[in-house]
Amino acid sequence: MQMVCNRGGSKRDMRLKIGLFNESFPPTIDGVSNTVFNYAWYLQKNHCDCTVVTPKYPNVTDDYPFRVYRYPSFDISRRLGYRVGNVLSVKMLRDLRAEQFDLIHIHSPFASSVIASELQRFSHKVPVVLTYHTKFDIDIAKRVKSAVVRKAAMKFLKHNIYAASEIWSVTEAAAESMRNVGYHGDYIVMENGTDFPKGSAPEQSVERIRTMYNLQHCGLTFLFVGRMMWYKNTRLIFDALQLLKPELAFKLVLVGDGADRAAMEQYVRQIGLADRVEFAGAVNDREQVRAFFSAADLFLFPSTYDTSGLVVKEAAACALPSVLVQGSCAAEGVTDGVSGFLCAENAAALAKTIRQAVADRQKLQMVGHAAQQTVYLSWEDAVAKAYDRYEYLVCNWQKPLPYQKRSINS
């Protein structure tokens, strides 16, 4: 039993009780889902009692060392790839009030924020942390056609950000998206980590991947891991590799699934890359994903949409160097030619960077090992840092006035 503070500063001998709220969680696979899972795992293991609050999915059994509370939801997965929670569920609100959380950590400023606000209104007041993971301004601009609805959505988003007691951003670059929404308050950068240990996957697992996708005699192996959505900039990868096809022997493996996968497969056939590209689909086994990273020579992740890019840290864990777009959130903390490779956001520049990266195999390995030492961050260490901040907030928090932001620079 560890010593923590009561709200108000007095001490007590008991574990904190933390609620992690997010709209995505396994079986949904994305970066934020992965983040919430690892927060829950390491909080429960090392620090406190943890409950994940997330929409209900059919035929899902939650067999974890932490509690998962699933509330009623609606299926909009065909359009957005997710289920949306019913924030008006009376039973859900009653159940969550009874939890008596010491702190609520929101990972999505939509349904999760609404639920947290309702709990704050009708039960004991606790600090609410919001982590800003995604470029929601871009999402809203792309998916909402009506200017009136877009304006309302941005206003709703801004309101939910300001309603939190403290704001965390996964990178400095991600915080710029909040500025675009209209948030101009303080924030803390709280980095995400990876659940991969340092080092390659077991050789037997790596060889299994190489055999499965016939990588032994293909020359170089390039890898992309992520949702199969065009906004991940996969078209840039295909176009760059089409330019390189006459001069390099390679195979590209894409791990993940999504609404645009069929269109991507068609595009690959259309530009004559079908014999060089393998779509592996979604992979839930984390050790198998680690084996994919360990089997590759270069990780291609030119996404300018992602605010953190957990996969870049996963690649670094396996000493696999990444090619990233200069100035992107995923490239934050990466030094060009030292711990990764950076390029401009066009196919010719990406092709040139790949060509230069693979020309010197010894340097390629050196860059991968440098990434392992400087880019890698374990989830255990990342969550420990977050928990230190939780304790500070619980010990020092007082109910803030609406829209009043205190300095949170520590």
Please report, for the chain, the start and end positions of each structural domain, with discontinuous segments joined by +.
3-193+379-396, 203-374
Say what the pLDDT of residue 408 is.
39
Say what the pLDDT of residue 81 is.
56
Are the C-beta atoms of 387 and 168 separated by less than 8 Å? no
Residues 6+ apart with CB under 8 A from 150: 140, 141, 144
Say what the pLDDT of residue 5 is.
63
Model pTM above 0.85 = no
Are the C-beta atoms of 129 and 166 separated by less than 8 Å? yes
> pLDDT per residue over 124-163, tens digit each?
789 999 999 887 887 888 778 888 999 999 999 999 999 9
Distance CA 176, CA 169 (A): 10
Helix axes 310-317, 286-295, angle to 10 degrees: 70
Say what the pLDDT of residue 399 is.
54
Are the C-beta atoms of 69 and 50 separated by less than 8 Å? no
Say what the pLDDT of residue 138 is.
78
Are the C-beta atoms of 77 and 101 separated by less than 8 Å? no
Q: Hey, do 3-193+379-396 and 203-374 end up sharing a CATH topology, with the first three levels equal?
A: yes
* Torsions phi, psi for 46 (to 5 deg): -115, -20
Say what the pLDDT of residue 405 is.
40
Say what the pLDDT of residue 76 is.
66
Spans of the chain below 70 pLDDT: 1-13, 76-82, 398-410
Say what the pLDDT of residue 6 is.
56
Buried b (16+ CB within 10 A) or exposed e, 78-113: eeebbbebbbebeebbeebeebebbbbbbbbbbbbb
Q: Candidates 2.60.40.10, 3.40.50.170, 3.30.1330.60, 3.40.50.2000; correct CATH number of 203-374? A: 3.40.50.2000
Does the domain spanning 3-193+379-396 belong to CATH 3.30.1050.10?
no
